[in-house]
Amino acid sequence: MTAVSTRSTTAAELMPYDEALSRFDPVLGLEVHVELNTASKMFCGCSTVFGREPNTQTCPVCLGLPGALPVLNAAAVESAIRIGLALNCDIAAECRFARKNYFYPDMPKNFQTSQYDEPIAVNGGVDIDVDGQPFRIGIERAHMEEDTGKSLHVGGATGRIHGADHSLVDYNRAGIPLIEIVTKPIEGTGRLAPAVARAYVGWLRELLLGLGVSDVRMEQGSLRCDVNLSLRPDPGAPYGTRSETKNVNSLRSVERAVRYEVSRQAARLATGRRVVQETRHWHEDTGVTTSGRSKEQAEDYRYFPEPDLVPIAPSVTEVERLRASLPEPPAIRRARLQADWGFSDLEMRDVVGAGALLLVEQTVAAGASPAAAKKWWLSELARRANDAGVALDELGITPEHVAAVQSLVDAGRINDKLARQVLDGVLAGEGSPEQVVSARGLEVVSDEGKLSAAVDRAIAGNPGVAEKIRAGKMAAAGALIGAVMKEMHGQADAGRVRELILEKLN
């Protein structure tokens, strides 16, 4: 997004987080929008492929041209029901769409087709794991709606003489099926509020990925989170006024946004000011929220039942068929994988906490050992994902790649150090691990003659060390191995080098 803010983003006054939590009790609410991965849009046959040329995936229906009539995508309804069931919701015996009326250029129809008083799924709940502690999150509802177009805000700097700000709109995204999942107010988190928010969104991503209903790529906006937060003096008090922070689009940002709002609201309340009920914008770069629309001028969307779509009444048989198609529930799946992999509770918690469960599972399926799969995802790749501020599965490396890297290590063709360079190559888009190895010439030297000569030179160059080894001080071999590795630019199998040294000196 290239939003140009006209507002001052002067930092708000903040109370240190720990102090804020010692004086106030936070109440969270999370609204997650997930774009479904159907082939076509919610109400028309336009493609949903991401990243195509602007306005090439639109038609009279999604542009809201006069006389065009929507017809509901059956696959989107199935996905909605499966999501509802996986969140332990009741599926409505009958529900309908409504028009949410507002004037904003991201919706060409001047209304968004959504669900209002009759959502498809209500009243569920899920158990998540927050730093090893179970935590129950109530689900208020999950409803179907359509995505909006994408606006690009440009200012005077684009060459317009009068510098008038204007927006450029691409409607390729308008009409893509969305499911909005709304939690009940989340109480009792105390200081864990940011961790709970992050764990829930991470858990939900994994669930949706497992259901196969969405790509859930936060960086492409196919999963977007709004964070509602309010503070109250103590857990028994009525809810305070909440702010709604929009479009928090990474797991790390979800955590940061909660933390920021706790500190900001606490600073206001502690100095006798009130929290304004408003929409706030999250700024990824500076890590602050700024005021957007005030909700106090009572937003009035004049919802009314959508006359162009008939009600949806999934039969019990249909719902039960979809329930039977659900993948194994997350807790059971986790227990099964832990047993299969022989991981300790702590190891398993690390894998889950890093959002790597599915990735490790797929890496193992691609041929790596569980320990190797865990090692790559949780060390090297986790560090790179963290540096890049993306989730592990958004890094641009697949489980098959990771398994291929490990198989190159197992075959003795590369060592761990070279493997890291291979990962870098794959992440830089240089192709498969095999391609990176040959393009970058990373293979270890397996020519025994070359290795043997290098070992001879190392022994000759370090007579003192060689003498120690002859005298039985095996620990000294490290210095010779180092010398050989240096000469070979790291491209040697250290184990084989050690063997050669010991053979020659004993």
The answer to whether residues 180 and 143 touch, using CB atoms and an 8 Å cutoff, is yes
Q: Which of 34, 46, 193, 196 binds other proteins (CB under 8 A)?
A: 46
Residues 438 and 426: their CA atoms lie apart, in Å, by 12
By CB under 8 A, tell whether 325 contacts other proteins. Answer: no
* Range in contact with other proteins (rule: CB under 8 A) among 47-55, 367-375, 395-403, 427-435: 47-55
Maximal CA-CA distance, the chain = 94
DSSP 16: -
Give bridge partners of residue 281 from the DSSP assignment. 246, 290
Q: Measuring CA to CA, how many Å separate 142 from each of 53, 120, 136, 145, 468?
A: 31, 7, 17, 10, 71
Q: Cα(119)–Cα(84) distance, rounded to whole angstroms? A: 10
- Phi-psi category of residue 188: left, alpha or beta, with phi > 0 → left and psi -120 to 50 → alpha: left
Q: In whole angstroms, what is the distance from residue 190 CA to residue 26 CA?
A: 6
Closer Cβ to other proteins, 22 or 294, answer by number: 294
- Choose, by CB under 8 A, the member of 219, 296, 299, 467 that binds other proteins: 299
Binds other proteins (CB under 8 A): choice among 132, 185, 311, 478: 311
The residue from 125, 138, 188, 292 that contacts other proteins (CB under 8 A) is 292
Whole-number minimum distance, CB 238 to other proteins, in Å? 16
Member of 18, 22, 39, 499 binding other proteins (CB under 8 A): 39
The residues in 140-199 that bind other proteins, with binding defined as CB under 8 A, are: 148, 150-154, 164-171, 180, 182
- Count of Cβ atoms closer than 10 Å to residue 356 Cβ: 25
Among 9, 12, 31, 252, binds other proteins (CB under 8 A): 31
Task: Count other Cβ atoms within 10 Å, centred on residue 333.
Answer: 16
Number of residues that bind other proteins (CB under 8 A): 70
Q: Measured from the CB atom, is 68 or 366 closer to other proteins?
A: 68
- Interacting positions 70-109 with other proteins (CB under 8 A): 71-77, 94, 96, 101, 103-106
How far, in Å, CA of 221 to CA of 70, rounded? Answer: 24
Between residues 27 and 266, which has the closer beta carbon with respect to other proteins? 27
Residues lying near other proteins in the complex (CB under 8 A) are found at 1, 3, 5-7, 31, 38-40, 44-47, 53-60, 63, 71-77, 94, 96, 101, 103-106, 116-117, 148, 150-154, 164-171, 180, 182, 281, 292-293, 299-303, 305, 307, 309-314
